[in-house]
């Protein structure tokens, strides 16, 4: 499970993401990311790019066969947007323990 929170989300309060994280501690895999500077609609291009990279990386980690088959596509997308993603993703926490 991937939970993505926007730092400046005016629609979904931070407590909702916290509740999801607490409710999903028994998930086999739980990844949480908070996108720094992003609003609910990812209004800025940098936030949109960062979200795309975040999602692409996560899918690549979760789907090993797809990562092997499309490694060059994922690597290109990550390389092209890595700087934007690092700037926009403010908080990264480790996956929840099993």
pLDDT at residue 93, as a whole number: 46
Residue 90's Cβ-count burial label (10 Å; 0-12, 13-18, 19+) is: middle
pTM: 0.63
**Are the C-beta atoms of residues 14 and 8 closer than 8 Å to each other?**
no
Domain-embedded: residue 97 = no
Tally the domains of the chain.
1
Rounded CA gap, 15 and 12, in Å? 8
pLDDT digit string, tens, across residues 5-15? 999 999 999 99
Q: Is residue 98 part of a domain?
A: no
pLDDT in tens, 13-72: 999 999 999 999 888 889 999 999 999 999 999 999 999 999 999 999 888 765 555 555
Enclosing domain of residue 18: 2-92
- Whether 51 maps to a domain, the answer reads yes
* Model confidence at 98: pLDDT above 50: no
Residue 82: inside a domain, yes or no? yes
User: Residue 26 domain-assigned?
Assistant: yes
């Amino acid at each position: 499970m991937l939970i993505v929170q926007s730092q400046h989300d005016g629609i979904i309060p931070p407590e909702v993401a916290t509740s999801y994280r607490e409710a999903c501690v028994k998930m086999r895999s739980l990844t949480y990311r908070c996108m720094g500077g992003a609003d609910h609609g990812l209004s800025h291009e940098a936030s949109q790019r960062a979200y795309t990279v975040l999602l692409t990386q996560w899918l690549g980690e979760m789907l090993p066969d797809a990562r092997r088959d499309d490694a060059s596509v994922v690597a290109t997308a990550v390389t092209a947007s890595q700087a934007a993603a690092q700037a926009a993703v403010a908080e990264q926490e480790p996956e929840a323990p099993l």
